Protein backbone atom coordinates (compact mmCIF):
# COMPACT_ATOMS: atom_id res chain seq x y z
CA UNK A 1 0.00 0.00 0.00
CA UNK A 2 2.86 2.41 0.76
CA UNK A 3 4.49 1.82 -2.62
CA UNK A 4 1.15 2.68 -4.26
CA UNK A 5 1.06 5.94 -2.30
CA UNK A 6 4.63 6.73 -3.35
CA UNK A 7 3.74 5.95 -6.97
CA UNK A 8 1.11 8.72 -6.87
CA UNK A 9 3.77 11.35 -6.16
CA UNK A 10 4.83 13.10 -9.37
CA UNK A 11 7.79 15.27 -10.27
CA UNK A 12 7.37 18.87 -9.19
CA UNK A 13 4.96 18.11 -6.36
CA UNK A 14 5.30 19.12 -2.70
CA UNK A 15 4.95 16.44 -0.01
CA UNK A 16 4.44 17.23 3.67
CA UNK A 17 5.77 14.64 6.11
CA UNK A 18 5.36 15.05 9.83
CA UNK A 19 8.77 15.55 11.39
CA UNK A 20 8.27 14.17 14.88
CA UNK A 21 8.32 10.62 16.17
CA UNK A 22 5.63 9.60 13.67
CA UNK A 23 7.69 10.33 10.54
CA UNK A 24 6.57 7.76 7.90
CA UNK A 25 10.00 6.27 7.20
CA UNK A 26 8.48 3.50 5.08
CA UNK A 27 7.05 6.15 2.75
CA UNK A 28 10.40 7.94 2.64
CA UNK A 29 12.09 4.66 1.69
CA UNK A 30 9.54 4.15 -1.10
CA UNK A 31 10.23 7.67 -2.41
CA UNK A 32 13.98 7.10 -2.32
CA UNK A 33 13.46 3.91 -4.34
CA UNK A 34 11.83 6.08 -7.04
CA UNK A 35 14.58 8.73 -7.12
CA UNK A 36 15.52 7.95 -10.73
CA UNK A 37 11.94 8.74 -11.83
CA UNK A 38 11.34 11.95 -9.85
CA UNK A 39 12.60 15.52 -10.19
CA UNK A 40 12.02 18.60 -8.06
CA UNK A 41 9.90 16.92 -5.39
CA UNK A 42 9.78 19.06 -2.26
CA UNK A 43 9.63 17.24 1.05
Rounded Cα–Cα distance for residues 43 and 23 (Å): 12
Beta carbons within 10 angstroms of residue 31's beta carbon: 21
Span 2-30, pLDDT tens digits: 888 899 999 999 999 888 888 888 999 99
Does the residue 43 lie in any domain? no
Model confidence band, residue 38 (pLDDT cutoffs 50, 70, 90): very high
Range of the domain at 15: 2-37
How confident is the model at residue 39, as a pLDDT? Answer: 96
pLDDT surpassing 90 at residue 1 = no
Beta carbons within 10 angstroms of residue 6's beta carbon: 19
Does the residue 19 lie in any domain? yes
Does the residue 22 lie in any domain? yes
Q: Provide the number of structural domains found in the chain.
A: 1
Amino acid sequence: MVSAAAADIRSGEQVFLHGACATPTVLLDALVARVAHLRDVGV
